[in-house]
């Protein structure tokens, strides 16, 4: 079936992944990202012209690379970066006029559905599972039972959003961290979620991978990020250790996860809040996620998931 490019426009990063697609499988060929922090350019619910320019510049670079790699099909979707802003239609129109890229704004429910498909890409043997994807602007939580999606929610608990809302310095003070955690727990408490059976929370996305890299560095192991496990109780220890290290803690973050040094503690607190809410004790990292789920639904044709091409055609009518 050839090569397919997917551009994921998130609140924190924009990422291009190129896949070689066969009849019922795919292989990742290229994975490139840029840290835009689009959420920083949103004021009173409106994306600024500067933020729009950053999106346009990045999309021009990524679409040029996709063309050089001879991708027969290209998709671009946005998550919390655009779905919650007042001028989303205007932004998408200008982006298409200037770059030729049609941006599909995923709803929170669609993002959670694609996340669940992404988990099954990595773990096809799973029947029952609790999963999450903590991004920059939002967090998706879902439950699979017998491979069927029985619960899914999307909440405004992204690591960059909470950093902007609660933290004044580089790292959250203890009081700021407490308020942030209580806020996340309250949003989760109000959500239509029920505790699920199982010991594991399958976590995908950049926040989860960054936590694994940091934990791996702190315990001096070279285990791969894929399937890496972190005990939920270790999160408090990690945060306290970084705080007690002072400037050395900041240096460690800048060495291991430089782009996420300021958002990793908010992100870990959100992961802890999700794990506690869902009643699990360990977090296991999964490298696949929303992009692979999107690919599965829209290119490989998984049933029961809205097809992006159909929605794009409807938008163009």
pLDDT tens digit sequence for 116-134: 999 999 999 998 999 999 9
User: Residue 258 is encoded by which pair of tokens?
Assistant: 């430089």
Tell me if 98 is assigned to some domain.
Answer: yes
* Residues 94 and 242 both lie in one domain: no
* Residues 92 and 126 both lie in one domain: no
The 8-class DSSP code of residue 317 comes to -
* Residues 97 and 206 both lie in one domain: no
The 8-class DSSP code of residue 86 comes to T
* Residues 96 and 149 both lie in one domain: no
The enclosing domain of 279 has a CATH number of 3.30.420.150
What span, in angstroms and rounded, lies between the C-alpha atoms of 253 and 270? 18
* Residues 140 and 279 both lie in one domain: yes
pLDDT in tens, 64-91: 999 999 999 999 999 999 998 999 999 9
Mean pLDDT of 281-302: 92
pLDDT in tens, 234-254: 999 999 999 999 999 999 999
* Residues 179 and 77 both lie in one domain: no
Q: Is the pLDDT of residue 62 over 90?
A: yes
Tell me if 305 is assigned to some domain.
Answer: no
Mean pLDDT of 56-70: 96
Structural domain including 120 reads 109-285
User: Residue 264 is encoded by which pair of tokens?
Assistant: 């990793």
Mean pLDDT of 160-181: 96
CB-CB contact of 52 with 110 (8 Å): no
Tell me if 216 is assigned to some domain.
Answer: yes
Tell me if 303 is assigned to some domain.
Answer: no
Candidates 188, 234, 196, 201; CA nearest to 215 is 234
* Residues 97 and 127 both lie in one domain: no
**Of 85, 105, 125, which residue constitutes the final position of a domain?**
105
Supply the mean pLDDT for the chain: 92
Tell me if 307 is assigned to some domain.
Answer: no
* Residues 136 and 275 both lie in one domain: yes
* Residues 130 and 229 both lie in one domain: yes
The enclosing domain of 91 has a CATH number of 3.30.420.40
* Residues 49 and 178 both lie in one domain: no
Tell me if 137 is assigned to some domain.
Answer: yes
* Residues 131 and 208 both lie in one domain: yes
**Of 105, 135, 169, which residue constitutes the final position of a domain?**
105
Please state the pTM of the whole predicted model. Answer: 0.90
273 vs 133, 266, 270, 300, CA distance in Å?
13, 11, 5, 34
* Residues 125 and 251 both lie in one domain: yes
What span, in angstroms and rounded, lies between the C-alpha atoms of 59 and 99? 7
* pLDDT computed for residue 198 by the predictor: 76
**Of 105, 134, 158, which residue constitutes the final position of a domain?**
105
* pLDDT computed for residue 302 by the predictor: 60
Q: Say what angle helices 247-256 and 206-218 make with each other, to 10 degrees.
A: 120
Tell me if 293 is assigned to some domain.
Answer: no
Q: Is the pLDDT of residue 307 over 60?
A: no
What span, in angstroms and rounded, lies between the C-alpha atoms of 274 and 99? 38
> What is the pLDDT confidence band of residue 25, given thresholds at 50, 70 and 90?
confident
Tell me if 195 is assigned to some domain.
Answer: yes
What span, in angstroms and rounded, lies between the C-alpha atoms of 111 and 140? 7
Q: Is the pLDDT of residue 257 over 50?
A: yes
Q: Which residues contact 87 (CB under 8 A, 6 or more apart)?
A: 46, 47
Number of domains, the chain: 2
């Amino acid at each position: 079936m050839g090569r397919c490019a997917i551009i994921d426009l998130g609140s924190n990063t924009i990422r291009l992944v190129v896949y070689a697609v066969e009849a019922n499988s795919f292989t990742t060929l290229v994975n490139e990202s840029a840290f835009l922090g689009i959420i920083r350019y949103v004021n009173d619910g409106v994306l600024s012209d500067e933020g729009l320019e950053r999106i346009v510049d990045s999309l021009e670079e990524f679409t040029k690379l996709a063309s050089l790699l001879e991708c027969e099909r290209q998709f671009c979707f946005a998550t919390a970066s655009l779905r919650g802003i007042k001028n989303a239609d205007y932004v998408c129109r200008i982006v298409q006029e200037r770059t030729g890229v049609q941006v599909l704004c995923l709803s929170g429910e669609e993002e959670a559905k694609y996340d669940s498909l992404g988990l099954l890409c990595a773990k096809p043997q799973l029947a029952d599972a609790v999963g999450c994807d903590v991004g920059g602007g939002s967090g998706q939580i879902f439950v699979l039972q017998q491979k069927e999606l029985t619960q899914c929610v999307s909440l405004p608990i992204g690591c960059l959003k909470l950093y902007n809302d609660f933290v004044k310095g580089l790292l959250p003070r203890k009081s700021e961290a407490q308020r942030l955690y209580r806020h996340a727990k309250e949003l989760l408490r109000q959500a239509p979620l029920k505790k699920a059976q199982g010991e594991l929370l399958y976590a995908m996305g950049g926040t989860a991978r960054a936590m694994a890299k940091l934990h791996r560095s702190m315990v001096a192991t070279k285990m791969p990020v894929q399937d890496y496990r972190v005990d939920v109780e270790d999160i408090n220890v990690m945060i306290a250790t970084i705080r007690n290290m002072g400037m050395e803690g900041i240096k460690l973050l800048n060495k291991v996860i430089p782009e996420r040094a300021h958002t990793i503690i908010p992100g870990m607190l959100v992961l802890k809040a999700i794990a506690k809410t869902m009643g699990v004790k360990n977090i296991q990292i999964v490298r696949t996620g929303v992009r692979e789920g999107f690919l599965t639904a829209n290119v490989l044709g998984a049933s029961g998931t809205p097809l992006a091409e159909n929605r794009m055609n409807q938008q163009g009518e």
